Amino acid sequence: MKHFSLGSKFLKDRGGWWHYVRRVPKRFKDVDKRGLIQVALRTQSQEVAMMRRNGLAEADDALWCSLALQAEGGERAKNRAASERHRAGVARAMAEGFVYRPVEEIASLPDIEEIIARLKEVDRSGAATEEKAEALLGGAPEAKDRTTVSEAFELYVSKIAFDDQYNKSEAQRYAWEKTKRTSIGYFIEREGDIPLIDISRDVATRYRDWWQSRMLPQKDGSSPITPNTANRHIGNIRSLRKRYFKYRGITDIEDPFRDFFFAGKSTAKRAAFSDEWVRDRILVPGLFNGLRIELRAIIYLLIETGARPSEIVNLRPEDIRLDHDVPHILIRPEQNRELKTGDSERQIPLVGVALPAMKLCPHGFDHYYDRNTLVSANLLKAFNQRKLLPSKDHVIYSFRHAFEDRMLEGGLDYGLRCALMGHKNNRPEYGQGGSLAYRRDALKKIAHPFSSDLFDRPASLGL
């Protein structure tokens, strides 16, 4: 606690010399025997006296807080009490003109004069006290940080990881936190809600081995997890621990999860819709009657843009350029919305079924804006009801894989494919993927044919 507004409180002028005078609160008289505290501040300057008074007042407040916490009992209160006692020692040493040092450090000081000065100050005027001795002789060691995993995570979400969330939308923040919270939940379930400082190499190894066991064939017949999944969950607890201690100013602490990384690659690959399936089963007039116009438009846009569902549903009016010589959409971040990667920012010409679909919703998708989970759920429901998923491996995202396959099979240049998919191009860059007209002409070659009746059927305000 800082004491910038005490005025002349606890100060007494005795013959031109200032003293710190303060009574021990009644509730602490049984444990703090000083009764009336009187400390000579050794100055005739009121300004200097106030500065020294502030240090002593802070030290006493911290001491009494420590005593109150000790009275509460319990491990957590005990740790907080030790922390407050250390704070009191630091403040009291500073008020006496010294830097607080642990007793081991004082004992090894090469300058014997400082040690003598500290001893003399403790016993000056025969006024030695336990509190003063603790402060000047290093008897109030800094308490170990006993913050638990769950406590650290709440601080992580609210303060430490502020930068991570700054440019995210509300839905993106929710998804981000949900993923992190799931990882922390796994750790607590296996190892308990222990203090971060107690995550030793043995604890980390045991946790890593548990994830390894889940990567093997399971006796209950459930699917093994992928190396990427295990790495993500281990990485999240590692990151929490590292960033928490960095936030607390502790940077010399060893990482118990060091070198824990599963290098195996998953052979699973999400399936893509075949051209025949899209043309014969999905681009069917009247198939999506009963769905919102917005949802119908989103389906057709996914087919011919290869965009991620979240990129389509969050298009703003200014991102939709229907009156341009080459009608297109802009995939770009907002102040409060991130894209998946920096390479995801791009321009996609509207060809085939995507152009009339976008004209159905020229101002975007208000009902679904920042509601990616709702869109995914509604699309999946609509496709399951109509039996439009050829296998258990097919998902709505399969449209994106199908779009990429069509570009490859259609002979589109690698750089153009990367530009349209929003993928990083690891080859030397000599351009930006071509003009919009060039992109449009290339995409027209692979666009699905569709019936003009596709947009003549009514739609409801259903899903």
Residue ranges per structural domain of the chain: 11-137, 149-247, 275-455
pLDDT of 1 reads 46
Whether residue 151 contacts residue 198, with contact meaning beta carbons closer than 8 Å, is answered with no
Strand order in the sheet with 328-331: 320-321, 328-331, 346-349
- Dihedral (C-alpha) 149, 150, 151, 156: value to the nearest 10 degrees? 90
Beta bridge partner(s), residue 18: 13
Q: Which residues contact 195 (CB under 8 A, 6 or more apart)?
A: 145, 146, 147, 148, 149
Whether residue 310 contacts residue 372, with contact meaning beta carbons closer than 8 Å, is answered with yes
Digit-by-digit pLDDT tens for the chain (463 residues) are 455 567 889 999 999 999 999 998 887 777 777 788 888 888 999 988 898 888 888 888 877 877 777 666 666 666 666 667 777 778 788 888 888 888 888 888 888 888 888 888 887 755 557 777 888 887 777 667 788 999 999 999 999 999 999 888 888 899 999 999 999 999 999 999 999 999 999 999 999 999 999 999 888 888 899 999 999 999 999 999 999 999 988 888 899 999 999 987 766 667 899 999 999 999 999 999 989 999 999 999 999 999 999 999 999 999 999 999 999 999 988 877 778 777 788 999 999 999 999 999 999 999 999 998 999 999 999 999 999 999 999 999 999 999 999 999 999 999 999 999 988 877 655 455 579 999 999 999 999 999 988 887 555 555 5
| Residue recorded with tokens 């916490």 | 69
- State the angle between helix axes of 372-385 and 293-305 in degrees (0 to 180), rounded to the nearest 10: 90
Residue among 351, 341, 311 at smallest CA distance from 418: 341
Whether residue 440 contacts residue 351, with contact meaning beta carbons closer than 8 Å, is answered with yes
Q: How far apart are CA 377 and CA 23, in angstroms?
A: 67
Domain covering 275-455 in this structure, CATH number: 1.10.443.10
Q: How far apart are CA 463 and CA 377, in angstroms?
A: 10
